[in-house]
Structure 1
Amino acid sequence: MGQPVVKISTGKLCGKVGKNFNNKAFFCFHGIPYAKPPIGPLRFKAPQPAEPWSGIRDATQDGTPCISRHPVLKSLIGSEDCLTLNVYTRDLPKEGSNFLKPVMVWIHGGGFTSGSGSSEIYGPEFLMTEDIVLVSINYRIGIIGFLSLEDPDLEVPGNAGLKDMVMALKWVQENVIHFCGDPNNVTIFGESAGAAAAHYLILSPMARGLFHKAILQSGCALNLWARSRRYTTELGQVLGLQTTDERKVLEVLQKMSVEEMYLAAEKSHDPFIASLVRPHGPVIEKKPEGAFLCEDPVDLLESGRYNHVPIMIGYTTREGILSEVLQRPKPFKPITDFELAVPNFLKLQRGSDISKLVAKNIKEFYYGNEEPTDKNKDKFYLLETDNFFLREIWRTVKYHNKTSSVPIYFYRMSIETDLNLFKNMFSITEPGVSHADDLGYLFTNLLTPDIEEGSDEDIAVKRFVKLWTNFAKNGDPNPTEENPLINVTWKPVTRNEMNFLDIGTKLTTGVDPDSDRMAFWQRILKINPNNKL
């Protein structure tokens, strides 16, 4: 099988051949531009369509990621010329054949400040055992993708990174047919910030009609870390400017190198603390024209004014292990100031009687009579799991269930094997499934071990892949024919029952997972019910 060549709307691409988990060949096309490089006058602006090229473009290497810190080495990598995507397919168009495959578009995580769609982290070998077309995208992150200014005349309203995703989905609509993909059967899926982004795409009128299903893994638009604040004044101070004039701040930023700008913006990064609002991420835009989002997500969810597509959404049992990882290389330090655990959307003044009361209730619920130490880490993990992930994932399911016209499938991941990505990467030995552990069952990466046929790892990969691709194909994760690996029926959520699938060493079903902890938070949220998330 020689090097494949494909002609798309902007020119010809030369890809390469890979081998999937079953050692069968598939085609890979890397680093395909889906928009103009967002550099010079296009810095911070909404993306523009890619320009055509002459000749045949080499599409055998990943595109450059958006500038950020390497997740392990912490060195600066990437640039702002990053708007590329990868496409993987088992077939290319043949004369006389018009069969089109379901398309799955992967949106990487990284808290809107790091990450990329790199094949080193998101290798396609597992998913390409199924007859789908897989697309993974890069988008702008950090200050590059999420600088937001109040002055509409400056044309930097925010959400450029989310608008990049819309542009990538438009590229898919126009070009995926050249890879045997069906533009009328597109599923977006992502993990962490990628899941929150997918949820924002569900909520955005700008993305209407560009996709038909969505899978949200460990994230949603309502999560504490998925909404940000405008911070131009603070940024001006970091830059040494004696002004709050947004135009002057923007002029300085436009003249800086991307490395200088990144390092300056990094000084405004907030730690992963529930009581604070992050500076780099999605915002509600002020001006409707050209906006990705100009209404509060809760208003959209309550009213049903969003893109009604089937949704698969879930979480891992100990998402909060992430909070320990983020403390490294410093030793683990448990939470001691519980006012820092008071959710920012409650808008309670720190030090007030009500803030102290909420903090006291949180401590007593999660720790009882114990004091936080490194000996009772699991209590810390549960608090962080609920505060940063599960509470709003749960509420998202509830909101959609009230207003959605299509099914919602809810899951919890509890399996622990050598494929749990984050725990293995960071040598976590405590029990529980960490945030990002699910990635190791859908994608190959540099740490993927050899997998023995019939092992727990082998069975789990095949289950994950089958459930995810069944949903992409049919809008229903259940198999259409008998499958010994999926021996239960996964029911969607109903008006009366919060059905869920537990993905452990075995598949089991149930109702209302972790409901005791969610009932506690329901009581807390009633303290200030008028505040939206």
Structure 2
Amino acid sequence: MLLDFICGTGRRGASLCGAVWLLAMGLYGCGGEPQVSTSYGVVAGKRDGNVLEYLGIPYAQPPLGELRWADPEPPQPWDGVRDAKLKGNACIQWATGIPAFTPNEDCLTLNIWVPAGEGSHPVMFWIHGGAQAAGSSNELQYDGRKLAQSLNVVVVSVNYRLLVSGFFALPALGSGEALSGNQAIKDLQAALRWVHEEIAAFGGDPGNVTVFGESAGSTNTCALLASPKTHAPERLMHKAIMQSGACDTLGIMTQEQAQQEGMKLLAELGCLDAAEPLQCARALPIAAIRDVIKFNLFTSFGWLLEEWPFRPGLVVDGDVFPASPVDLVTENRGYDIPILLGTNKDEGSLFAGFLAHPDDAEGYADFMEQRYAGQGDDIVALYPFADYQNAGSAHADMRGDLIMKCPTLNMARRYSAFNDVWMYSLEQDVFSVVMEVIALGFKKNAPPLGVFHTADIGYLFEFPLLSAILTPSDRTVRDLFQQAWGNFARNGNPNGDGVPVWNAFDPALNNYLVISGQPENRTDFRQGACDYWFQVGYGF
């Protein structure tokens, strides 16, 4: 490395020795640790094999005090060298007791993994999932080191506000300002803006940023694609990968609906009748606000949206989203952003498994009519009891279509009218100790896990606890995922080295690539079922 011998740190333009701060790989200080100068100060990371890591870098000020629920503000500059060897705090979310999820409002940080070698690398910006209510880039399964090394890309992961911190809307009350909601999306846009301005110093190409995410992270990828603020005044993203989630997977709220959620929470907090309701809520400990909601992600898998004690979701606020994100993202606004999107074969197993199901066909019909009033007969006809292992399996197939597959197909059909789209279905069974433990909580006549929701993550990031037990077919799937995602990040097309021919999506064919030990192109993705849900409406 050039400049390995240089010692000294400092603010931009004031480094010792008057050296120019370089470059794609950053600068090494006296102790051999990689250092990079940003607009806010110097960060010192660490080397892990052939990858440099810079962790827990703030992209915005902590949203504390008066900044709770406010738009993200740029971080404060710091003097000296900021240690960037540990990830930042997870954001406030549903209570788990798991250390990685210990809540803290001071959480607006990102992590960067940079492959060894000179040059300007494509950037892959990862958004974690968790139903907008949980999750963190701190999770071991989202370690970007292997992806950066295997694909020769810069990987960025981000923490953003969740649950009541990230989706809280209120009308103006007392002297307080109105809150439009969408704080989470504003955080992600702030993080992308930070990447646009700073990533070149780490070796990333700000003109080639792929945003990718899974579940709610995929929904938020779609949201960023939809929001005009992502594209102007600077273009903050250039490609999108959506894994198991579309803009409307978790529903979309009007401003009035979101404000009603906020007012309901204010009442539960005892702040609605205060002289200054917003100040009252801002003065409360955030954990106390979270605990009022009594939200548990695992049991909520079986809920309908109207059953959630607090509904975090995208809001048509006239600002981040001047119209419905679905309409915005499927209008041709000349952004020329290709997308790769898809789902897993058994998306619904988690969303049906936590509900008890009846034993026979008659009970199944009654269950569906009670759960989905007015649609029971149609659902039983589309998903006949006799075609499945049990009632839970039939319900899981239906929930997978309703929540994930049909929203994804709708996105592909509408977006492909003016941009390139590639669609996939992951159909390779995978064993997961974590998911098997979670499935111990499944109720009577539950579906088997199958190719469950989130199964794709282990293949893509090569999660260490998974890679040790990969079969030859699993390795084929892992290699396909990584090569296709890398090709797409570089060139806007998944085809290329290590990937079988993957036909672009054609709405006349509803075609997709089956990702399995024997990949193949197929047509008519969920044709009959999704045609029904397109007519009557779909979503969580």
TM-score relative to the length of structure 1: 0.83
CA contact (8 A) 1:111 1:225 kept: no
CA contact (8 A) 2:271 2:281 kept: no
| Residue 457 of structure 1, CA deviation | 2.9
> Given the alignment, which residue of 164, 173, 176 partners 1:143?
164
Residue identity over aligned pairs, in percent, reads: 28
CA contact (8 A) 1:421 1:438 kept: no
Structure 1 pair 425/446, CA: closer, same or farther in 2 (3 Å)? farther
**Aligned mates of 1:102, 1:79 — CA distance in 2:** 31
**Aligned mates of 1:223, 1:192 — CA distance in 2:** 9
Select between 465-474 and 300-309 the one with higher mean Cα deviation: 300-309
- Aligned counterpart, 2:205: 182
| Residue 368 of structure 1, CA deviation | 4.5
> Given the alignment, which residue of 212, 229, 239 partners 1:213?
239
Select between 66-75 and 434-443 the one with higher mean Cα deviation: 66-75
AA at the equivalent of 2:328: L
**Aligned mates of 1:145, 1:314 — CA distance in 2:** 26
- Aligned counterpart, 1:347: none
**Aligned mates of 1:308, 1:139 — CA distance in 2:** 27
- Aligned counterpart, 2:457: 439
- Aligned counterpart, 1:198: 221
| Residue 392 of structure 1, CA deviation | 1.1
AA at the equivalent of 1:410: M
Structure 1 pair 41/180, CA: closer, same or farther in 2 (3 Å)? same
**Aligned mates of 2:490, 2:351 — CA distance in 1:** 35
CA contact (8 A) 2:144 2:156 kept: no
**Aligned mates of 1:442, 1:29 — CA distance in 2:** 21
**Aligned mates of 1:532, 1:321 — CA distance in 2:** 16
> Given the alignment, which residue of 34, 41, 59 partners 1:4?
34
Alpha-carbon RMSD = 3.1
**Aligned mates of 1:424, 1:476 — CA distance in 2:** 37
- Aligned counterpart, 1:251: 279
2:200 match: secondary structure: helix
CA contact (8 A) 1:421 1:437 kept: no
Q: Deviations over 1:39-90 (max 9, x none)?
A: 1110001100111111111111110010224668599712011000000011
AA at the equivalent of 2:92: I
AA at the equivalent of 2:167: F
**Aligned mates of 1:242, 1:101 — CA distance in 2:** 51
Matched, 1:157 2:180: yes
Q: Deviations over 1:209-232 (max 9, x none)?
A: 101000000001121446584213
Q: Deviations over 1:177-208 (max 9, x none)?
A: 11110000000000000000000001101100
Structure 1 pair 369/501, CA: closer, same or farther in 2 (3 Å)? closer
- Aligned counterpart, 1:260: 288
CA contact (8 A) 1:106 1:137 kept: yes
AA at the equivalent of 1:492: A
Equivalent residue runs for 1:251-290 within 5 Å: 251-266=279-294, 271-272=300-301, 273-274=303-304, 276=306, 279-286=310-317, 288=318
**Aligned mates of 1:86, 1:226 — CA distance in 2:** 29
CA contact (8 A) 1:106 1:189 kept: yes
- Aligned counterpart, 2:323: 295
Q: Which runs of 5+ in 1 are unaligned?
A: 20-24, 343-354, 526-530
TM-score relative to the length of structure 2: 0.82
**Aligned mates of 1:171, 1:523 — CA distance in 2:** 41
| Residue 277 of structure 1, CA deviation | 7.4
Aligned residues: 486
> Given the alignment, which residue of 116, 122, 130 partners 2:136?
116
1:182 match: secondary structure: strand
- Aligned counterpart, 2:15: none
- Aligned counterpart, 2:48: 18
CA contact (8 A) 1:275 1:341 kept: no
Select between 146-155 and 253-262 the one with higher mean Cα deviation: 146-155
| Residue 283 of structure 1, CA deviation | 3.5
| Residue 450 of structure 1, CA deviation | 1.7
Matched, 1:235 2:235: no
| Residue 305 of structure 1, CA deviation | 4.1
> Given the alignment, which residue of 121, 127, 149 partners 1:107?
127
Structure 1 pair 274/260, CA: closer, same or farther in 2 (3 Å)? closer
| Residue 426 of structure 1, CA deviation | 4.0
CA contact (8 A) 2:91 2:161 kept: yes
Q: Which runs of 5+ in 2 are unaligned?
A: 1-27, 359-363
1:391 match: secondary structure: helix
